Amino acid sequence: MAGIIGRSHRHRADIVPEGASDAREEPAAVRWTIIAIAIAFLSVFLVLPLVTVFQEALAHGVIPYFRALAEDDALAAIRLTLLVAAISVSLNLVFGIIAAWAIAKFDFFGKSLLITLIDLPFSVSPVISGLVFVLLFGAQGYFGAFLQAHDIQIIFALPGLVLATVLVTFPFIARELIPLMQEQGTQDEEAAISLGASGLQTFFRVTLPNVKWALLYGVLLCNARAMGEFGAVSVVSGHIRGETNTMPLYVEILYNEYQFVAAFAVASLLALLALVTLIAKALLERRAAAE
Amino acid sequence: MHADATAQVSRSLFRRPPSVIPGFGITLGLTLTWLALIVLIPLSSLFLKTATLSPDAFWAIVTSRRALNAFKLSFGLSLVAAMINLVFGAIVAWALVRYDFRGRRLFDAIVDIPFALPTAVAGIALTTLFAESGWLGSVLALVGVKVSFTPLGILVALVFIGLPFVVRTVQPVLLDLDIELEEVAATLGASRLQTLTRVMLPMIAPALLTGFALAFARAVGEYGSVIFIAGNLPNVSEIAPLLIVIRLEEFKYADATALAVVMLVASFLILLAINRLQRWSEQRTGRL
């Protein structure tokens, strides 16, 4: 990005005589109008909601804020969210790497169909991503009787939350790795193999260092979505306080009970997560661009 | 004999140029297994469940007044939101790529807020912001516009979650545009406006449309940010995903599933359109 802008400025200095206007630039009035519209739009729609979260959370000062976060149910929700995200992100990390290896390093029939199928969860409503597991594992579901007979609880329990979250975040890591690994080709790996490295050695010493930033980037986005997922987990959770309430679900319950300070206090933790994610993302992008 | 033929077919289906890189069989096998377990089998349970309904019963569910109104609301408002995002997303992308202004990097990072902020958090924040006692809602109330708890509120939420799709799709294409084309157009006597509409717009049109389709697809299925601000009145401000949840909570699984199948088929079609658009975009701009 800096490159293009730098280039256009050099153009101006090199070619355009003092006082004349560059053929590639709009009149200043147009330029400032466009910038003003962009800033106003971003501020109203994106910045103000974020500010609102913290403003409402701290509306009655710091003490009610921390008291709301120290509630047992709040702590349980935080623990559950961390647990679900840790399991889901790990599963999708392993899958993402394996899928990217198969798709990027080999040619086979039906590859583009496979990529489309991996992308599919992106365009499925989160509500549907939850519903399908109720149909499979709920009391009335296809495996419901079997699960009941063996006393296994999936819906309204941790496994259901994890399944729904894994489905929703399924494409995130694979999607970051596949295009990059395709672009990098197979020469490095072929060289390593021909020099006697094993497959795993090749992966850990050659492929992984090549894609580490994209991998981290994918993990970051996957984690943000996993911790913040609402629709899918709402359907499978059953909203049992202290047991199956993740942070977003707990926010909803508090909000519907008109406990606004508490709702926004828990929401502010999720908003902080979003901010940390954005900052880490910006740093990663700068890192990757520098290399 | 039969097994032999199957083996041959599968060999020719999966034939690939000889590669020294190991792990093809196992990684592809694991990928397909995991994909089937997490995505394909669960989603096909929707169709299995719907198949237990008679066509008449299915039709009655998905064309009931409440369902039709929910579909109309979801698809209609998503379309309007995607169009708003198309216009403002293009403006934002243009400003971020072409102009240097104070805070440009910051605003560039801010574009991703809807990707990172959990939808429930966005929902309660937008509701508070646009409620009649909120910062923006109180201003809008002066001119008689009510946003929170009306269909307009749904639109606001859908614009919020869709914006980054357009910006992030258009931005890289704008960055890669060949500067010389613009210069040639200017040299040949085109006005700046002509260059923009006749030379540059056709170049970024596929990316704009892709971003539009992505924003639309996301908006159609959106649930978390909408339900807080919508008011959720049946036939008025009840979106389709919410109606699915309501049917589920009433234990009307067949009803919920039938509605979900309609939504899923619609998303398949949108996804196909997006893939087409992306291929077109790559051909048009020579990007990969």
Model confidence pLDDT, tens digit, residues A171-180: 999 989 999 9
Can you tell me the distance from the alpha carbon of B73 to that of B183, in angstroms, rounded to the nearest whole number? 45
User: Given pLDDT bands bounded at 50, 70 and 90, which one contains residue A228?
Assistant: very high
Residue A44 domain-assigned (yes or no): yes
Q: Which two tokens stand for residue A109?
A: 């029939």
Domains contained in chain B, number = 2
Question: Which phi and psi angles does B179 have, rounded to 5°?
Answer: -60, -35
**Shortest Cα distance from A123 to chain B (angstroms)?**
6
Given a cut of 90, whether residue B2 has pLDDT beyond it is no
Residue A5 domain-assigned (yes or no): no
Residue A276 domain-assigned (yes or no): yes
Per CB-CB distance under 8 Å, the chain B contacts of A194 are 20
Residue B8 domain-assigned (yes or no): no
Q: Examine the domain organization and report whether A202 and A251 are in the same domain.
A: yes
Task: Report the pLDDT averaged over residues B191-213.
Answer: 87
Report CB contact under 8 Å: A37, B91.
yes
The domain containing residue B24 runs over which residues? 20-51
Task: Report the pLDDT averaged over residues B118-134.
Answer: 95
Any idea what the CATH number is for the domain that residue A195 is in? Answer: 1.10.3720.10
Given a cut of 50, whether residue A189 has pLDDT beyond it is yes
Using one digit for the tens of pLDDT, what is the confidence trace for B62-80? 999 999 999 999 999 999 9
What percent of chain A has pLDDT above 70?
92
Given a cut of 90, whether residue A205 has pLDDT beyond it is yes
Given a cut of 60, whether residue B250 has pLDDT beyond it is yes
Helix (H, G, I), strand (E, B) or coil at B252: coil
Given a cut of 60, whether residue A206 has pLDDT beyond it is yes
Helix (H, G, I), strand (E, B) or coil at A106: coil
What is the overall mean pLDDT for chain B? 89
ipTM here: 0.87
Per CB-CB distance under 8 Å, the chain B contacts of A189 are 21
Can you tell me the distance from the alpha carbon of A257 to that of B124, in angstroms, rounded to the nearest whole number? 13
Domains contained in chain A, number = 2
Per CB-CB distance under 8 Å, the chain A contacts of B242 are 127
The domain containing residue A83 runs over which residues? 66-290
Q: Examine the domain organization and report whether A94 and A45 are in the same domain.
A: no
Q: What does each C-alpha distance from A145 to A100, B38, B51 come to in angstroms?
A: 37, 21, 20
Using one digit for the tens of pLDDT, what is the confidence trace for B165-186? 999 999 998 988 878 888 888 8
Q: Examine the domain organization and report whether A120 and A195 are in the same domain.
A: yes
What percent of chain B has pLDDT above 70?
92
Nearest by CB to A107, from B17, B40, B42: name it. Answer: B17
Given a cut of 80, whether residue A5 has pLDDT beyond it is no
Q: Examine the domain organization and report whether A51 and A181 are in the same domain.
A: no
